[in-house]
Chain A
Amino acid sequence: MSARNIVAVIVFCVLAVFFVFTALMIPFGEPMKTQMDDYIIMHTQQETGTNSAVTTIVFDYRGFDTLGEATILFAAVSGVLMLFRRVKK
């Protein structure tokens, strides 16, 4: 076994202990602080005029994150088209 394999196995075991310990300690089904989500669910129909809470969060309450996501999609498409620019027919 080379040195790289031994270091990889040690990192693996240490991370395994941390992850499994965390997964057994989080309570499933009782989120801790829910004031922001309760406000959003109560005031969606009156303030925005939609029936769906998820879409208003994506486009209205947190529209700035969607702007960043559209920029990432644009950068990925332009990067792929730029990598294949020399391939002619």
Chain B
Amino acid sequence: MSEMSKIVRTLSNITFPFIMVFGLYVIAHGHLTPGGGFQGGAVAASGCAMLLVAYGSGWVIDRIKISRLSAFESLGALGFIGTAFFGLIFGGMFFNNFLVETGILFNVVPRTGFTGSEFNTAGVLTLMNFSVGVKVIAGVFAIVVVMAYASSLKEWKQ
């Protein structure tokens, strides 16, 4: 698809950082407020899709390699499974929450009512939230880029 006019491009340049910050906020605070990995990843991926619509798929696919997006997604999946395997090594069970009981990093119990942003709280959940968030962003953005480029060609060279 071709690019859109200058007004649309300028406005999407302005609003793109706000959408990404909001998406990362929803991912990072998954254990205190409603949200988490999948929801925040969907918000951030729709911000990236807005840039794709504003600049045209030919422009975007010249500058982004699909193999690197694929590597990002595999990195997210490996982080998720690696955290589960660490639970098996340290605790004795698959998916064990080994950072809450005897932990170094994230082992404070939060209080009820108004919590500010007690980020030091949930054990393994914060690492898992980030891994799944990266996986969802990379996966959805790769699907949208490939489908937008393939539908804009007149004929497919085999």
- A-to-B contact residues, CB < 8 Å: 45-52, 54-56, 58-60, 63-64, 66-67, 70, 73-74, 76-77, 80-81, 84, 86-89
The A-B contact count (CB < 8 A) is 106
Roughly how many angstroms separate A73 CA and B74 CA in the complex, as a whole number? 11
**B110-142 residues at the A interface, CB under 8 angstroms:** 110, 112, 115, 121-125, 128-129, 132, 135-136, 139, 142
Find the B residue at minimum CB distance from A47. B100
Roughly how many angstroms separate A46 CA and B32 CA in the complex, as a whole number? 14
**13 cross-chain CB contacts under 8 A:** A48-B125, A51-B31, A51-B110, A52-B34, A55-B35, A55-B36, A63-B84, A66-B132, A74-B77, A77-B73, A80-B146, A84-B150, A86-B157
A-B pairs with the 5 shortest C-beta distances? A50-B31, A63-B95, A50-B122, A77-B139, A49-B100
- B-to-A contact residues, CB < 8 Å: 30-36, 61, 66, 70, 73, 77, 80-81, 84, 95, 97, 100, 106-110, 112, 115, 121-125, 128-129, 132, 135-136, 139, 142-143, 146-147, 149-150, 153, 156-158
For chain A, what secondary structure do more than half of its interface residues adopt (helix, strand, loop), or is it mixed? helix
Q: A81 to B128, Cβ gap below 8 A?
A: no
**Residue numbers in A under 8 Å from B109 (CB-CB):** 45-46, 49
With A45-B109, A49-B123, A52-B33 as known contacts, state yes or no: A73 contacts B81, CB within 8 Å. Answer: no
Shortest CB distance A2–B (Å): 34
With A49-B109, A59-B125, A60-B97 as known contacts, state yes or no: A87 contacts B156, CB within 8 Å. Answer: yes
With A49-B100, A80-B146 as known contacts, state yes or no: A74 contacts B32, CB within 8 Å. Answer: no
Q: Which listed residue, B33, B95, B149, B150, touches A60 by the CB 8 Å rule?
A: B95
Q: A55 to B73, Cβ gap below 8 A?
A: no
**Residue numbers in A under 8 Å from B112 (CB-CB):** 45, 51
Q: B33 to A81, Cβ gap below 8 A?
A: no
**Residue numbers in A under 8 Å from B108 (CB-CB):** 49
**Residue numbers in B under 8 Å from A84 (CB-CB):** 146-147, 150
